[in-house]
A and B are shown apart, each in its own frame.
Chain A
Amino acid sequence: MKNIYLDYNASFPVKPKILEQLLTQTDSYGNPSSIHFFGRQSRQKIEETRHKFAKCLNVTSDKIIFTSGGTEANNMVLKGFVAEHKNKGTLLISATEHPSVLKTAFTLLGEHCPLINVKKSGIIDLVHLEDFLRRAEKPILVSVMYANNETGVIQPISQIASLTHQYGGLLHCDAVQAFGKINFDFGDDLPDFITFSGHKIGALQGVGVLFSKYNFPYDALISGGGQEKGRRSGTENVLGIESLGLVLSHLNADIYNCSKVEFLRDYMEAQLVEIAPNLVFFGKDAPRLPNTSCFGCLGLAGDMQVISLDLEGIAISAGSACASGKVKPSHVLLAMGASEALAQSAIRISMGPMTTKEDIDYFLKAWTKIYVRGLKDQLQLINQNNG
């Protein structure tokens, strides 16, 4: 049986070359806060990566804070903002955010906190956002993701930034899923905070980055030894940070490689429509990540498809990885106006640079089998009911 991995948005394998490079370095095991040789080696690795990262964004190194991952970085901004302004001010998030933003906002403001609507395409409703901004009590923090993890829909971040700034608000952008897959276009209006994660682009797990346009203005989420200039305490994940530095060296090539799978994605979608004309592709009318396709097929349960495909050796997911295992319909798809039944039927295919046409053909064959079997079941059901 084949083993085909089509779940790159959940986790991205570390490149063997990068692992090899990391393992040949034997002297970076010191605590980066120690002043001896071993400590200085580790410190240097960290600062080199920070410098590289800053250069990618065309900002200065002091704006880059290393964290344990995207989730922590998102929490730092949202919790920091709300704690700083107590019960004043407004936190605005879009309805399709990642759970690390959505659940954090719910924890802070309650389950009924207002959400910025998205249109059917998955793109944020700018009129609704502006309406919020006009009425909101200041200070305002808006949090909108760059690209959605489930649908791949890319938000017009530079427009959202200028709108937010026009009303004196701050913008936080969760760019975890877009990072390494497309070139960023922040225009002249950089968001005030941006979140990145290492393991979605082939660096080791356990490393995230928070960009903060100003000196990070909030209380640290994790206090202690004062690492990261007091903004994030705890001994740094040196190897993880170093791996991020190594990945950054090939970032442009990675983005190019990712763009090449777009034709595979489009090919797959075209073939799928041939097989099942009633398929609904979420976010197809919006700019999308080139590697992501999310579609629903009424009558076929998402989790059933996932399990059947796994038996065929194909790894995909229904909705995001953090939420899978729970059979709740995706909040992202519901926000885009999908019915519960349609959302329950959705699966996500996310490709990587190593994905081949053979992989996709294999997937198409396997999926067709599932689809046909599903049709038969439905027919049988109808016949039984009639009989």
Chain B
Amino acid sequence: MTSSKQLYFDYQATTPMDPRALALMLPYFTEKFGNPHSKSHSYGWESEDAIEAARAHIAHLIKADPKEIIFTSGATESNNLAIKGIADFYGDQKRHIITLSTEHKCVLDTCRHLEQKGFEVTYLPVLQNGIVDLDLLKSSIRADTMLVSIMAVNNEIGVIQPIAEIGQICRDRNVFFHTDAAQAFGKIPLDVESMQIDLMSISAHKIYGPKGIGALYVRRKPRIRLNALINGGGQERGMRSGTLPTPLCVGFGEAARLAALEIVDENKRLESFKNYFWETLSAGLKDIYLNGDFNNRIPGNLNISFAYVEGESLLMGLKDIALSSGSACTSSSLEPSYVLRALGVEEELAHTSLRFGFGRFTTLEEVEFLAKRVIEVVEKLREMSPLWEMAQEGIDLKSIEWAGH
């Protein structure tokens, strides 16, 4: 991706649209603009056909039946619909939900909302590498546990959870399993059958599709029931009313189709970028730490702590490069990331972390440039850092009584 302004390394926040997906959308804005729910004329049918084709592409990527794909406005809505919808429908039978403390904010917020309504939620801690402790999950399931909601890939640190194992545990214990796959869909192989997933949230704009569209996979066999979040015309099998935005669905479908075709090659390329970047940085800089498991992660993400250098000043030094210190949703807050804290990363180190995202339009030259700039800026800031100086003098920073404020 070339831009006169900045190089883009924030592919977990969002992605630019793939021009191929955009091109396919265009006719549906102007010529083929029928309301897909108009069953009475060819304009409507044309839109409906396009939507169904898109739905099939999305279903194909997770080995689902197209009828099991519900379009929504995005993964946030999908997560809300899955969790609130299940709780609303089955809430008079079971009242307990299990999730991870490192989930995306929209899952945590939705769970908190349900707690206020009298549900009980267990927020499982994760191991130091960011992965769920399966034994702890097993022992946390109770007779009244209704739902386990565990993300497939973490948005900040990129680690992949053992989804198939979680699916098996949930099926054995007769608990619904929802996974937020916003960061996983199109990036790692997903199979709702073999992984025994009951509900899966998907986003388009993380896989080079348009913003404003997502999907929820809802298992039909055995059938999962949900109460709708949005009522009305009864579209999407009554689970999500509102006119479907045909062009967005088309762009989403094409993005999914392209992902299916290119996932293997793309991952190879990103893996080589990841390895090159990490090796170059490790060779050039002391005291840097990778957050999250090195192997169980999507290759397009590296979250790194640069000890003794504060993250925001690092971002400022890299101002010609678009990066983030964590989740976009919390990027204006000064608090260190709750995800890193959950891994046991100490607060002082959490302040020094950046997320590097590589994607479809990243080139090796860009990664080389990035590595060079990061090393330069970290060295410059360490020269300026009193903590670095003390560490070099052999002073244990923990021995100092800091006057916190």
Q: Known A11-B38, A206-B213, A224-B106; judge A35-B324 contact (CB<8 A).
A: yes
- Measured CB to CB, the nearest residue on chain A to B109 is A223
> What 0/1 pattern do residues 1 to 35 of B give for CB contact below 8 A with A?
00101101010011111000010001001110111
Q: Are A68 and B212 in contact (CB under 8 A)?
A: yes
- Listed by A's residue number, 29 A-B pairs whose Cβ atoms lie within 8 Å are A11-B33, A11-B34, A26-B3, A31-B14, A34-B13, A34-B14, A36-B6, A38-B8, A67-B73, A71-B230, A71-B242, A75-B241, A101-B232, A103-B234, A106-B231, A205-B247, A206-B245, A206-B248, A221-B80, A223-B112, A223-B113, A225-B76, A225-B105, A225-B327, A234-B76, A235-B203, A239-B210, A316-B41, A322-B233
Q: Mark A100-123, 1 if CB is under 8 A from B, else 0.
A: 110110110000000000000000
Candidates A14, A99, A207; contact of B29 at CB < 8 Å: A14
Contact of A31 among B13, B106, B323 (CB under 8 A): B13
Contact of B14 among A223, A235, A320 (CB under 8 A): A235
CB distance from B318 to the nearest CB of A (A): 9
The CB with the most chain B CB atoms within 10 A, among A7, A101, A106, is that of A7
Residues of B within 8 A of A19 (CB): 26, 29-30
Indicate whether B43 reaches chain A with its CB closer than 8 angstroms.
yes
B104 in the interface, Cβ–Cβ < 8 Å?
Answer: yes
Chain B residues bordering chain A, tally (CB within 8 A): 74
Give which listed residue, A7, A238, A318, contacts B211 with CB less than 8 A: A238
On whether the beta carbons of B76 and A303 are closer than 8 Å, the reply is: no
For the complex, what is the distance from the CA of A74 to the CA of B14, rounded to whole Å? 28
User: Does residue B42 face the partner (Cβ distance < 8 Å to A)?
Assistant: yes
| Distance in angstroms between the alpha carbons of A206 and B244 in the assembled complex | 7
CA–CA, A238 and B210, complex, Å: 9
The reply on B79 being an interface residue by CB < 8 A is yes
Q: Is the CB of B243 within 8 A of A69?
A: yes
Per the bound structure, the CA–CA distance linking A349 and B6 in Å amounts to 50
Interface positions of A from 1 to 56, Cβ below 8 Å from B: 5, 7, 10-16, 19, 23, 26-27, 29-31, 33-39
Is B243 a contact of A205 with CB atoms below 8 Å?
yes
**Contacting pair A34 B37 (CB below 8 A):** no
Which chain B residues border A324 with CB–CB below 8 Å?
37-40
B binding-site residues for A, Cβ under 8 Å: 3, 5-6, 8, 10, 13-17, 22, 26, 29-31, 33-35, 37-44, 72-77, 79-80, 104-107, 109-110, 112-113, 203, 205, 210-213, 228-235, 241-248, 315, 322-324, 327-332
Known: A204-B247, A237-B212. A37 touches B329 (CB 8 A): no
Q: Report A127-159 CB contacts with B as 1/0, cut-off 8 Å.
A: 000000000000000000000000000000000
Say yes or no: is A338 at the interface (Cβ < 8 Å to chain B): no
> Contact at B109–A30, with CB atoms within 8 Å?
no
- Write out the residue numbers on chain A whose beta carbons fall within 8 Å of the beta carbon of B76: 222, 224-225, 233-235
Question: Looking at chain B's contact residues, is the secondary structure mostly helix, strand, loop, or mixed?
Answer: loop
> Is A225 a contact partner of B329 (Cβ separation < 8 A)?
yes
| B210 partner residues in chain A, CB cutoff 8 A | 237, 239
A327 to chain B, nearest CB (A): 10
Considering only residues 76-119 of chain A, those with a C-beta below 8 Å from chain B are 98-101, 103-104, 106-107
**Nearest B-chain residue to A17, judged by Cβ:** B30
Q: Check if A107 sits within 8 Å of B6, measured CB to CB.
A: no
A344 to chain B, nearest CB (A): 14
Contact A322 B6 (CB under 8 A): no
Q: Is A296 close to B, CB under 8 A?
A: no
> How many angstroms between the C-alpha atoms of A219 and B116 in the bound complex?
11
> CB of A317 within 8 A of chain B?
yes
Contacting pair B41 A315 (CB below 8 A): yes
Q: In the complex, A320→B5 CA distance in Å?
A: 47
- Report the separation of the CA atoms of residues A30 and B323 in the bound assembly, to the nearest whole angstrom: 11
Q: Is the CB of A322 within 8 A of B15?
A: no
Residues on A with beta carbons closer than 8 Å to the beta carbon of B106: 222-225, 233-234
Cβ of B35 to closest chain A Cβ, rounded Å: 4
Q: Is A279 an interface residue (CB 8 A)?
A: no
Question: Contacts A11-B33, A224-B79, A227-B329 given: A207-B233 contact, CB under 8 Å?
Answer: no
In the complex, chain B residues whose CB is within 8 Å of the CB of A38 = 5-6, 8, 10, 322
Are the CB atoms of A317 and B29 closer together than 8 Å?
A: no
Which residues of the partner chain A approach B77 to less than 8 Å between Cβ atoms?
A: 68, 222, 234
**In the bound complex, what is the Cα–Cα distance between A204 and B197 (angstroms)?**
33
Partner of B35, one of A11, A36, A226: A11
The distance from the CB of B69 to the nearest CB of chain A, in whole angstroms, is 17
CB-based contact A71/B232 at 8 Å: yes
Q: Which residues of B contact A13 (CB under 8 A)?
A: 29-31, 33
Q: B17–A36 contact, CB under 8 A?
A: no
User: What separation, in Å, do the CA atoms of A106 and B232 have in the docked complex?
Assistant: 10
Tell me, in angstroms, the Cα distance from A317 to B234 when the chains sit together: 18
- A239, B211: Cβ atoms closer than 8 Å: yes
Given A317-B40, A324-B38, answer yes or no on A100-B232 (Cβ-Cβ < 8 Å).
Answer: yes
Whether A72 sits at the interface, judged by CB under 8 Å, is yes
Residues of chain A with a CB closer than 8 A to B231's CB: 71, 75, 100, 103-104, 106-107
A322 to B10, CA, bound (A): 39
Chain A's nearest CB lies how many Å from the CB of B251?
10
B38 touches A7 (CB 8 A): yes
The answer, yes or no, to whether A306 is at the interface (CB within 8 Å) is yes
Chain B proximity of A328: nearest CB distance (Å) = 11
Scan A321-337; emit 1 where CB is below 8 A from any B CB, else 0.
11111000000000000
**B37 lies within 8 A of A224 (CB):** no
> With contacts A7-B35, A29-B16, A224-B79 known, is A39 near B328, CB below 8 A?
yes
